[in-house]
């Protein structure tokens, strides 16, 4: 193992963020000599980021923590184009209003991870629409376009794959890499940004920026990519029954976020602790050694720490406590998702299947029936045998009715 002099590179390497780097030693040197400015771009295709983006956010966090300056670049301009990398098909184009709303919503997510401001290592939030929107076609082609050869562009994976699979690639998308390259140069000019980080699928786009910087500005730029984070069983991270694991609390409750991490596969615990928490490596090494049932303790730490970073101490503590009472004591956790039901409706009696549907544990009435028939439904921890069983006010214990779908999904019904 080579020795890295800078805290930044050492941290990123030791924690498993490195996949490829254009010049690791050169970057290490720069980072040990002074403050460097680094950026990561984020698409604005949805109104929240998800765990897939969390690796990037964690890197920005470490950049700042090791004394450097992170830039979170919102792709207000490039989202209008659509990145073809890793996609078989052209994306639907979003309108300006949607993109603007998405950006506003996404920005909130960075707040717990980064300190924004004007200081030397304070984070900057930028939006590439600032410079891309006003580009003039002919001048742009003359100044920037001449540095890109079609020959080279055709060798990029994002392009090559589409061509090989005989999937169409529009000229619009073909331009994406040029604009991303231009972003890097623009950020270099504005903020003296010299490093771009991204997922491994961004390598090609990043390289284009590095080259462009050298050609038009004689700037020494660096590129750094992370491995694609998959689970031990090979699945892409972040998809569950409920859909994507969103980072905004209004799209995924902190309790569910906690549960997502709590249910990590054994083989992933160590790697995830390094990537998604800020615990010291020595502590992680200790947790990683746990075997068998004890590994659950490591998972709890992972879940708590990850939740704390995103949603704060209080939310993490509440989620952990709810999980503890629910799973370890079979009790009722306060933080479980709850729905209220008019007391009159309950007094009149409501069929079990309807109740499960209303509580959000089944997407439709049919699904609720299937759940009950399959033996996966419980009411106050008693298995529901008959889907037509009528539930009345008698079922209320301690002010609530606890419903469970399977072992992991629980909800509360409160009469009101």
Partner RNA sequence: GGAGGGAUGGCCGAGCGGUCAAUGGCAGCAGACUGUAAAUCUGCCGACUUAUGUCUACGAAGGUUCGAAUCCUUCUCCCUCCA
**How far apart are CB 267 and RNA at their closest, in Å?**
8
Q: How far is the CB of 328 from RNA (least distance, A)?
A: 7
Residue 168 engages RNA in binding (rule: CB under 7 A):
yes
Residue of 334, 370, 389, 415 interacting with RNA (CB under 7 A)? 370
Of the residues 244, 406, 414, 415, which one makes contact with RNA according to CB under 7 A = 406
SS3 204: helix
Closest CA to 222 of 48, 18, 7: 18
Integer Cα distance of 233 and 238 in angstroms = 13
Q: Cα 4 to the chain's mean position, in Å?
A: 28
Is 278 near RNA (CB under 7 A)? no
Nearer to RNA, 40 or 368 (CB): 368
Q: Which one of 366, 382, 392, 397 is in contact with RNA (CB under 7 A)?
A: 366
Backbone φ and ψ for 149, nearest 5 degrees, come out as -100, 145
In the complex with RNA, which residue's Cβ is closer, 145 or 238? 238
- Pick from 95, 118, 164, 328: which binds RNA (CB under 7 A)? 328
Alpha helices in 243-364 (DSSP H): 254-262, 269-276, 281-288, 295-311, 313-323, 343-348, 352-358
What is the Cα 373 distance to its own chain's centre? Answer: 36
User: What is the β-pairing status of strands 37-42 and 69-74?
Assistant: parallel
Among the candidate windows 49-57, 70-78, 153-161, 407-415, which touches RNA by CB under 7 A?
A: 407-415
Site for RNA in 71-90 (CB under 7 A): none
- Minimum CB distance to RNA, residue 329 (Å): 11
* Alpha-carbon torsion (39, 44, 45, 47), positive or negative: positive
Which residues are 199's β-sheet partners?
Answer: 226
Asked if 356 and 371 touch (Cβ cutoff 8 Å), the reply is yes
Is the CB of 174 or the CB of 182 nearer to RNA?
Answer: 174
Please report whether residue 324 would count as binding RNA according to CB under 7 A: yes
Question: Both tokens of residue 406?
Answer: 């399977």
Q: Interface mask (CB under 7 A) for RNA, residues 228-267, using x and -?
A: -----x-x---xxx-----------------x--xxxxx-
Q: Does 329 bind RNA (CB under 7 A)?
A: no
Kindly state the tokens that stand for 194: 């010299």
Distance CA 198, CA 221 (A): 14
Give the one residue of 60, 295, 301, 310 binding RNA; rule: CB under 7 A: 295
Report DSSP state, residue 386.
-
Please, are residues 72 and 110 in contact by the beta-carbon 8 Å criterion?
yes
Residue 376 binds to RNA (criterion: CB under 7 A): yes
To RNA, the closest distance from the beta carbon of 366 in angstroms equals 3
Residue 31 CB burial class (10 angstroms; 0-12, 13-18, ≥19): buried
**Counting contacts by CB under 7 A, is residue 349 touching RNA?**
no
The reply on whether position 273 binds RNA by CB under 7 A is no
Question: Rounded CA gap, 271 and 268, in Å?
Answer: 5
Stretch of residues binding RNA (CB under 7 A), selected from 59-67, 100-108, 193-201, 368-376: 368-376
Could you tell me how many residues of this chain bind RNA (CB under 7 A)?
44
Please say whether the beta carbons of 223 and 21 come within 8 A: yes
Look up residue 124 and give its two tokens: 């900057």
Binding piece for RNA, criterion CB under 7 A, among 4-12, 35-43, 292-300, 334-342: 292-300
Using the rule CB under 7 A, which residue among 23, 219, 327, 360 binds RNA? Answer: 327
| Site for RNA, rule CB under 7 A | 166-168, 233, 235, 239-241, 259, 262-266, 292-293, 295-296, 299-300, 323-324, 326-328, 351, 354, 357, 363-367, 369-371, 374-376, 405-409
């Amino acid at each position: 193992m080579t020795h890295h002099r800078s805290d930044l590179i050492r941290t990123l390497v030791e924690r498993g963020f490195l996949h490829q780097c254009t010049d690791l030693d050169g970057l290490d040197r720069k980072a040990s000599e002074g403050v460097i400015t680094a950026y990561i771009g984020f698409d604005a295709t949805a109104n929240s980021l998800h765990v897939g983006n969390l690796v990037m956010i964690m890197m920005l966090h470490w950049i700042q923590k090791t004394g450097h300056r992170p830039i979170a670049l919102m792709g207000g301009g490039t989202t209008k184009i659509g990145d073809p990398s890793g996609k078989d098909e052209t994306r639907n184009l979003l309108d300006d209003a949607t993109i603007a709303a998405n950006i506003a919503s996404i920005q909130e997510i960075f707040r717990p991870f980064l300190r924004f401001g004007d200081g030397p290592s304070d984070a900057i939030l930028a939006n590439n629409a600032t410079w891309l929107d006003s580009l003039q076609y002919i001048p742009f082609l003359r100044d920037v376009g001449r540095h890109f050869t079609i020959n080279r562009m055709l060798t990029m994976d994002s392009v090559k794959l589409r061509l090989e699979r005989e999937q169409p690639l529009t000229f619009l998308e073909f331009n994406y890499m040029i604009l991303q390259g231009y972003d890097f140069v623009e950020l270099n000019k504005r903020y003296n940004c010299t490093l771009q980080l991204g997922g491994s699928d961004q390598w090609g786009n990043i390289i284009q920026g590095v080259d462009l910087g050298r050609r038009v500005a004689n700037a020494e730029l660096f590129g750094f990519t992370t491995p694609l984070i998959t689970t031990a069983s090979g699945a892409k991270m972040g998809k569950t029954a409920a859909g994507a694991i969103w980072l905004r609390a209004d799209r995924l409750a902190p309790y569910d976020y906690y549960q997502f991490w709590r249910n990590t596969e054994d083989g992933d615990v160590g790697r995830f602790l390094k990537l998604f928490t800020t615990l010291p490596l020595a502590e992680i090494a200790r947790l990683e050694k746990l075997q068998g049932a004890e590994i659950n303790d490591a998972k709890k730490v992972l879940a708590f720490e990850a939740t704390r970073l995103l949603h704060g101490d209080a939310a993490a503590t509440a989620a952990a406590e709810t999980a503890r009472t629910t799973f370890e004591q079979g009790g009722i956790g306060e933080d479980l998702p709850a729905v209220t039901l008019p007391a009159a409706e309950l007094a009149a009696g409501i069929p079990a299947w309807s109740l499960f549907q209303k509580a959000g544990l089944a997407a439709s009435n049919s699904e609720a029936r299937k759940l009950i028939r399959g033996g996966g439904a419980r009411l106050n921890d008693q298995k529901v045998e008959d889907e037509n069983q009528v539930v009345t006010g008698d079922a209320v214990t301690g002010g609530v009715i606890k419903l469970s779908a399977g072992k992991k999904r629980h909800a509360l019904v409160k009469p009101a």
